[in-house]
Homo-oligomer: A and B are copies of this chain.
Amino acid sequence: MTPGPTNVPERVMRAMLAPIVNHRCEEFSSLFRRIVDKSKTVFETNGDIVVLTASGTGGVEAAVRSVVRSNDSIVVPIFGEFGERLAETITLAGGKVIRVNAPYGSAPEPDAIEAAFEKAGKVKALCTVSNETSTGVRYKWLKEAGEIAAKHGSFFIVDAVTSLGGDEISVDRLGIDVCATASHKCLAAPPGLALLSVSERAKKYAVENPSSTMYFDLAKQFKFAEKAETPYTPSLPLFYALDEALSIILEETLPKRIQRHKTCAEAFYDAFEALDMDGFAQRDLRSNTVTAFKYSNGVDDHKFRKTLEEKFQVHIAGGFGEYKGKLFRVGCMGEVAAYHVLTTVAAVASALMLQNIRCDPALAMSVAEQKLRILDR
């Protein structure tokens, strides 16, 4: 129950056992085309899809380097550790980061972003995380942000690593030029692949202005994609697994999958609130894929998570940086279903009781179960 890598269905794991074929043959090209087609449905885009053998951080770096060039001004809403990492990635690519900060737990409103654009003059791109894994904040103003970027003729780049496939990231409708995600979060495939969608405009820019890296240069990816190949050896087993994981998403259908994530997250928020542990994020910005909670009085973070692991085999995450010891995070991604929510709530309530924290486990269980009923329909 950590915020990724998430559990991987047996079907997906077994897909990795397909024989290793050479990546310059029709068998690979056919796999490549299947993945691209299915990914377009999941990204809700008519744009191009690029799959890189790399973690999410690599995917975000490739997204950034698709359009960020030396001395470009880039507006970045920052409201957590992954926003900071995004800013650092942009700085390393030579971009000048124009920070739009908001206290952790909240996020910058569209007005603040518009103001940053007005003040900066020429802005090459607006880059944001869609879901801040460190604080459990969902950036609910993606549409407004996309409109601001479009109005100013800027590219719109989104790090959707912990939301795509589990929350609404409708790439074309939101006007996202480059959207990056990873295999091991809401897509529920094994870690090791990054997926990017690229708009026609961003593709044209990337092809005409190659970036200064070999591995993350999208121009090279597009050149080989013409023959349904990758420029460098792809991780075959991970490609097979991703293909299977995408099939599972299409079988469930994207709207139902997003609803399932949302319902499970709501059940977590209600249940832990019933245990006197409030969501860390501002109520209207609560994430549907990574839920974060403040500890109630007297709970020892280390002891609490150790008990969960050792006695209940439930793995959750602690807080980042200055929030270490003050909050805990529960992933709500991929395969997550009523079973995962209820067993986690039961384990958390039990761990609290073992620490002699007074709480109402019956209430927690009942509110969670009530919320989850919608999944049975």
Contact = CB atoms under 8 A, between A and B. Distances in A.
A348 interface: no
A65 to B, nearest CB: 9
A69 B224 CA distance: 29
A215 B58 contact: yes
A137 interface: no
Given A214-B85, A237-B238, A184 B16 contact: no
Contacts of A88: 214
Contacts of A60: 214
B57 A214 contact: yes
A175 interface: no
Dominant secondary structure at the A interface? loop
A216 B57 CA distance: 10
B17 A233 contact: no
Contacts of A192: 53, 192, 234-238
A285 interface: no
Contact of A89 (B94, B214, B237, B315): B214
A56 B215 CA distance: 10
Interface string A317-358: 100000000000000000000000000000000000000000
A366 interface: no
A238 B55 CA distance: 12
Interface of A: 2, 4-8, 13-14, 16-17, 20, 22-25, 53-58, 60-61, 85, 88-89, 92-94, 182, 184, 190-192, 212-217, 231-238, 241, 315, 317
